[in-house]
Structure 1
Amino acid sequence: MKSPNVNELPGNPQFPQSTLKGSMEDFAKSLSGWSWEENKLFELALAVVDEQHPERWEVVAAMVGGEKSAGDVQEHYVILLEDLLVIESGKLDHTLGEVVPFVLVECKDSICLSDNDTSM
């Protein structure tokens, strides 16, 4: 196993955050069809476009950009409202499967392995 280069570690200012962001964005888009960036633009647009604006969904879609139509953003809004109702009702299942116990271990010593170490 190759040891990571310190410049590739998260938290390092020189770590290519675009790699991490790209994978998270791909995951988010695969779940909802909306990327993380599109969702953030959607949230911002909802905050600044008046609910009574006669062309609200067209304006929101324009602010989101890309391939989202007025119908797409309106449908996304309805889904968001439905999610909020479920969360606020207390009916949300927080378990999402079996709870797996874990143990926190304090590590006071570090171990350095070389590429040639096969003892582990």
Structure 2
Amino acid sequence: MGEFEDVFSGWSWEENKMFELALAIVDEQNPERWNTVAAMIGGKSAEEVERHYETLVEDLQNIESGEMDHRLEEAHLHSLSGDCDQSTYWTDEDQKLLIQLGI
């Protein structure tokens, strides 16, 4: 899957979930957005967080344009084979992360 997997290199599943939740909480107009998100995740700099966001936005644009459809299909088939145990639904782990954030 190449580039598709590279998006998450250097980021654990937990860090990505924290990132996702932090983006939902911290206002886009907040001038300290990346510092705040980085602080919520822990272990990442504001620059790393902003780069991660930019990469995900770029990937989203590629997906919407149809450029990544085959990669998503490969990921879907990979998950159906039993190699991936992460649910696309709200999990107990998601709830624990919200509690950690004090939400």
Give the TM-score of the pair, scaled to structure 2.
0.60
The aligned residue for residue 16 of structure 1 is: none
After superposing on structure 2, the runs of 4+ consecutive aligned residues of structure 1 that deviate more than 3 Å are none
Give ranges in structure 1 of 5+ residues lacking alignment: 1-27, 97-120
Q: Tell me which residue corresponds to 1:36.
A: 13
Instruction: Report SS of the residue matched to 2:29.
Output: coil
Return the alpha-carbon distance in structure 2 between the equivalents of residues 93 and 56 of structure 1: 31
Q: How large is the RMSD of aligned CA atoms in angstroms?
A: 2.2
The one-letter amino acid of 1:59's match is T
- 1:58 counterpart SS class: helix
Identity of aligned residues (%): 67
Structure 2 unaligned residues grouped into runs of 5+:
75-103
Q: Matches of 1:89 and 1:62 in 2, distance apart?
A: 33
Higher relative contact order (CA 8 A, sep 6+): 2
For the pair shown, the structure with the greater C-alpha radius of gyration is 1
Greater percentage in helix: 2
Partner of residue 75 from structure 1, selected from 30, 47, 51 = 51
Q: Which amino acid aligns with 1:80?
A: L
- Number of matched residues? 68
Contact 2:18 2:41 in 1 (8 A): yes
Distance in 2, Cα, partners of 1:42 & 1:76: 9
Residue 38 of structure 1 aligns with an amino acid whose one-letter code is E
